Structure 1
Amino acid sequence: MVRAVAAPGPTTDDRGESTTGLDTDGTVLITGGTGTLGTLVAEHLVRAWGVRHLLLVSRSGPEAAGAGELTDTLTELGAEVRIAAVDVTDPDAVAALVAGVDSAHPLTGVVHAAGVLDDGVLTTQTPERLARVWRPKATAAAHLHAATAELPLSLFVMFSSTAGTLGASGQSNYAAANAYCDALAARRRALGLPGLSVAWGLWADASGMTGHLGEADRARMTRSGIGAMSSERALGLLDAAVRHGHHHLIAIDLDVRALAGRPALTLPAPLRALAGGGTARRTAATARPHTDWAGHLAALPLEEQRRTLLNLVLSHAAAALGHSDPGRIQTERGFLELGFDSLTAIELRNRLTAVTGLRLATTLIFDHPNPAALAAHLHSELAPEDADPLAPMLGEIDRMESALLSVAQDETAHEALLERLRTTLSKLGALHGGGTEEGPAAGRIQDATADEIFQFIDEDLGRSESNGEHAHGGTR
């Protein structure tokens, strides 16, 4: 494992005095001060930095869960603590908070650790969702900067995120807010003021922002090469960042072997050089980009072309879900049924974009809802002259099936859908058989179930199930 910064030793000298340049008799303000990270930082400042006066700010203030126990702990360690309920997105409230600091222990440091998440892919972002994340992170940072610009601070640290530096699936709004903090740190330095933005990776201690992450989410991050830091390690990196002197640093645990196992183009640009040093064996999931797929496929028989692309999809789908064996991915099952969500969908799309060179839509697995359908789409893009001319229409049927079955649980809707499908298929059957709507085809579908209707579509449109290319979502 490698880290972006290496933590030095303790931040006090042999006499127990702070070596960070911070006046330990002054007051340090921590936003998000009653949250998981704020609590850890507060105790660390008292234990390791010798800080004796803390002003902890949060939306709930003294009413926050654990606030009383936190006060008792810090008091026992010799610190004087005040916990305040303040809306840090309100400039007047922030100005009043700063002005109200006891002049006997003036404000000497600020740690802005507040923030919220509202994850979602880019196409689902709205001004409201951006504002929900922007205000407690970026707007609050701007207010803290304005309220303290004339004070002789020694410390102004903002908790940023690697989302703003390296990118993070589903966190475009959070990335923007943290990028603002990174820029504000540079701006403060240009004005001769202290300023540091630490772009954090994942802390192992679940906070209000990361407590929703399940095992699958953490496993996905681990596969991407980003490990979860223990609180001890993270706090050591905070010390290192303060000592380092640069205005913007990344504090993250990276697994270079995991990075080397991913297609380079799926990695953030700053990490590609690190990944290039790995020795991981190349497989279908780590294939080199810029393969001449048109030439490669042209040299293969048609069935081998299809099989090659299907194996490519299965390999990358397995990698996105954390499976070492692509055989665990069933060709006919829908991606959502296989366990894909919006983030793993983006990962699969990025992987396939990297290895094929195609510009694939972010809605890829929703447009082509199972591995067979997706492989057929890639075939139509990479070898259009050999692709099945019915593939686009069959893809539409796949999407229609997924939509129909999602609403057919309602009995009224179920009957209405069946009636409409029977009418459409009766017309199709009449054309296909050269008869009328009352001919053999109509008789076949008159009393058909939904499953039988979809089977009829497959058979009468020439869909072969014997070659493993059946593309429906595995609901039958």
Structure 2
Amino acid sequence: MVGPGAADPVDATFWTAVEHQDLDELVRTLGVGAENEKSALSAVLPVLSSWRSDRVEESTVASWRYRIVWNQGPDYGNETRLSGTWLVAVPSALASDPWVAACVGALNDRGARVAVLELDASAVLRTDLAARLGDVVRGAGAGTVGGVFSLLALDESPHPDHPTVPAGVAATLALVQALRDTAAESPLWLVTRGAVSVGVTDVLASALQAQVWGLGRIVGLEHPQSWGGLLDLPDTLDERALARMAGALTASGHEDQLAVRPSGVFVRRLVPAGTGGSTVGREWRPRGTALITGGTGAVGAHVARWLVRGGAEHVVLTSRRGPEAAGAGELAAELTALGAQVTFAACDVADRAALKRLVADLEGRGTPVRSVFHAAGTLTAAPLSETTVADLADTLAAKAAGAESLAELFDQGRPLDAFVLFSSNSGVWGSGGHGAYAAANAHLDALAQRRRAAGLTATSVAWGLWGGGGMVSGAGEEQLERRGVRAMSPELAVTALHRALAHDETTLTVADIDWARFAPAFSSGRPRPLIEDIPQVRRVLDETAVAVDGTDPSAAGSALAQQLATSSEAERERILVDLVRHHVAAALGHTAGEAIDPGRAFRDLGFDSLTAVSLRNRLNAATGLRLPSTLAFDHPSPRMLAQYLRTELVQDGAAAALPLPDQLDRLEETLVGGALDGLSRATVAKRLKALLSRLDETSARSGSAGTKEMIQSADDDELLAFINQQLGRS
């Protein structure tokens, strides 16, 4: 079959005519003349158009499907050695636990100077922790801090002030913030126990600890320079497992999501999950009563319409406002007209008692729930440095605690046809500013795996961007689009959901990603092996290995330095502010830098961590400098960033020294142009001869060949290296 993106223009014209049922265009394209042939074509065209539409739809939905797999990774031996001081953060309640002691002992045995920091995970204060971290760093003395090894996730007890937040998750957030406050850049490793499943026989033990995996992915995005990774360890720590653990900590820095198991070390990957022509596992159709949490929201309403059209006789739509929610009346009328009974319930899904009463009432009315669709959620966007435990609580309450309430109600005693959790890509690969949301969604994916292991139905779909006012709208939708996360048609999104249920999936990612835009920014702060097995990503990263826009950074940097060297101080400021504004606009997807207010904060301009990295890459290419990934956060407005660039490019009122070839080029231009600044030609010639003489003298003292011999025997690279060496330059 010719695909929708066929390159042949005749084929494209043919299929466009079919899709639009344009008989006249189809007749012209096929060269049909006889009336009987036109009549036959007219009869078959609707069928052909419908077939074509179904095939395009199937192909589109299949291209959105991805799944997480765990591949066998490198197996580390006992020869691993650690260096420097390793800070080990341990919940005080587990300080004497043998499993924790085994981890600490393994680090000690392999050369690390271990500094154990015991913390009351339920009462960690960011400022106090930062002070204690500073003491440890200073106490390391001449030794370096080799890394930070956090076991805080192991404390699953509820936070005393925010019971929906595990104490270990709150403590992990405080640790990340305190490390940032102390400007520590040693790699941070977040360690869990049974928080992931690497295969069917590997049972996931803790959905609560899985929250740290969601949170950690945001740490890796927002603080790539100080990120080690996520490491899940088995319940039994024998010598082989401990050796693998230590080896993972000293790996090349490439892998950052690993699991140690008795059979080896596994690494996490996202791969395409097209159906591959496989037959549908079951003919899933909704029946009876369907319970939809967040049912009055945009996504919930789309799901309700799809369920009713598919055969659901009764839909129960829960939200905090119930029938008072905006648009509830119109939605009820629409669903009723389609033949369904509609019940609105003002029920906070995190309120277990209220949810239990609702389910019992439905059963008392003879309408037991046959399927559950958990679409409720709250998104609080903030960088990790500004995220509070209260933010975690608000987000986890609706998403994670609500899902656990539903799972508790619908266990073996209340079998279901479907138990569907609406997760998000933020929990799969992360999204800057979505730390709490990523933690909540990682919990949903883990919960689905836990239910499957217990023999219960469960499907968690990590969604990308729904169009039509779905999970994100307005400026948030535009920002995601710029980053390569395209809005999906809600109609096709529910088709993808139907496919997931028909194939009886446990976890699935559904997103329309423009990898050409997404992958370079996502991978710029550090390697992102998670997505490297996706064919489009490999091609994109190979093609974008050079600098942004194909610019040679060294040439661009030389040209800029020359321009600044011949400019006044006021001109330098204007040049650099305009340069920054231009690249800020490009990073944001705007056409011109004139619209960028140089005094406005990057955050107010719509920046996130990926946009900031994109700006850093562009300025690297434009200046020839090696700028940090935190550039836009350390210098939070275009004007402040321009001032920083001036200090890097200009020293003591003059442009930073140019590479020697550029200095020689400038000297040649000056001599040819006759601009000798009032000096006589004889004086200039004498200075040049003296310089050449110094080169000869330096060569003689070093015992090497003279300048003349060097020039005669050296190629270009050797000659430039020799001159740089003699002038004391690198």
- The structure 1 residue matched to 2:587, chosen from 311, 320, 326, is 320
Q: Tell me the residue number matched to 1:250.
A: 509
Q: Tell me the residue number matched to 2:357.
A: 96
Matched AA of 1:87: D
Contact 1:284–1:316, Cα closer than 8 Å, also in 2 = no
Deviations 1:390-419 (A, max 9, x none): 99xxxxxxxxxxxxxxxxxxxxxxxxxxxx
Matches within 5 A, 1:262-277: 262=521, 264-265=523-524, 269-271=529-531, 273=534, 274-277=536-539
Q: Tell me the residue number matched to 2:137.
A: none
Residue 493 of structure 2 corresponds to residue 234 of structure 1: yes
SS of the residue aligned with 1:351?
helix
SS of the residue aligned with 1:100?
helix
Q: Tell me the residue number matched to 2:296.
A: 34
1:73 to partner: Cα distance: 2.1
- The structure 1 residue matched to 2:329, chosen from 52, 64, 68, is 68
Per the normalisation by structure 2, the TM-score is 0.44
Matches within 5 A, 1:303-342: 303=562, 313=580, 316-324=583-591, 328=594, 333-336=598-601, 341=604
Matches within 5 A, 1:461-476: none
Contact 1:285–1:315, Cα closer than 8 Å, also in 2 = no
Alpha-carbon distance in structure 1 between the residues aligned to 2:564 and 2:630: 19
Alpha-carbon distance in structure 1 between the residues aligned to 2:482 and 2:295: 32
Q: Tell me the residue number matched to 1:360.
A: 630
1:37 to partner: Cα distance: 1.2
1:113 to partner: Cα distance: 0.5
Q: Tell me the residue number matched to 2:369.
A: 107
1:259 to partner: Cα distance: 3.4
Contact 2:295–2:375, Cα closer than 8 Å, also in 1 = yes
Deviations 1:1-49 (A, max 9, x none): 84226999xxxx9xxxx9644561x32111011121111101100113x
Alpha-carbon distance in structure 1 between the residues aligned to 2:410 and 2:644: 55
Per the normalisation by structure 1, the TM-score is 0.65
Alpha-carbon distance in structure 1 between the residues aligned to 2:417 and 2:325: 29
Alpha-carbon distance in structure 1 between the residues aligned to 2:560 and 2:464: 47
Q: Tell me the residue number matched to 2:659.
A: none
Deviations 1:235-255 (A, max 9, x none): 111112222333211111112
Q: Flag structure 2 segments of 5+ consecutive residues without an equivalent.
A: 1-59, 67-272, 566-571, 621-625, 656-730
Alpha-carbon distance in structure 1 between the residues aligned to 2:379 and 2:641: 32
Alpha-carbon distance in structure 2 between the residues aligned to 1:303 and 1:263: 33
Matches within 5 A, 1:128-207: 128-150=390-412, 151-207=414-470
RMSD, aligned α-carbons? 3.8
Deviations 1:190-237 (A, max 9, x none): 111111111111111214x534x23xx433322211111121121111
Q: Quick one: structure 1 residues 60 and 368, their matched pair in 2 at CA, closer, same or farther if it must change by over 3 Å?
A: same
Contact 1:219–1:322, Cα closer than 8 Å, also in 2 = no
Alpha-carbon distance in structure 1 between the residues aligned to 2:407 and 2:589: 43
Contact 2:522–2:610, Cα closer than 8 Å, also in 1 = no
Q: Quick one: structure 1 residues 246 and 56, their matched pair in 2 at CA, closer, same or farther if it must change by over 3 Å?
A: same
SS of the residue aligned with 2:345?
strand
Q: Quick one: structure 1 residues 247 and 19, their matched pair in 2 at CA, closer, same or farther if it must change by over 3 Å?
A: closer
1:164 to partner: Cα distance: 1.2
- The structure 2 residue matched to 1:220, chosen from 470, 479, 492, is 479
Deviations 1:89-139 (A, max 9, x none): 111112222222236332221000011122112211111111111111111
Q: Count matched residues.
A: 363
- Range 150-159 or range 63-72, more displaced: 63-72
Q: Quick one: structure 1 residues 184 and 362, their matched pair in 2 at CA, closer, same or farther if it must change by over 3 Å?
A: farther
1:286 to partner: Cα distance: 5.5
SS of the residue aligned with 1:179?
helix
Q: Tell me the residue number matched to 1:259.
A: 518
Matches within 5 A, 1:337-348: 341=604, 343-344=606-607, 346-348=609-611
Matched AA of 1:69: E
- The structure 1 residue matched to 2:313, chosen from 40, 48, 52, is 52
1:363 to partner: Cα distance: 2.4
Larger radius of gyration: 2
Matched AA of 1:29: L
Q: Quick one: structure 1 residues 108 and 31, their matched pair in 2 at CA, closer, same or farther if it must change by over 3 Å?
A: same
Alpha-carbon distance in structure 1 between the residues aligned to 2:290 and 2:438: 27
Deviations 1:423-466 (A, max 9, x none): xxxxxxxxxxxxxxxxxxxxxxxxxxxxxxxxxxxxxxxxxxxx
Contact 1:264–1:275, Cα closer than 8 Å, also in 2 = no
Matches within 5 A, 1:364-403: 364-366=634-636, 369-376=639-646, 379=648, 387=651
Higher strand proportion, which one?
2
Contact 2:583–2:615, Cα closer than 8 Å, also in 1 = yes
Q: Quick one: structure 1 residues 111 and 230, their matched pair in 2 at CA, closer, same or farther if it must change by over 3 Å?
A: same
Contact 1:98–1:148, Cα closer than 8 Å, also in 2 = no
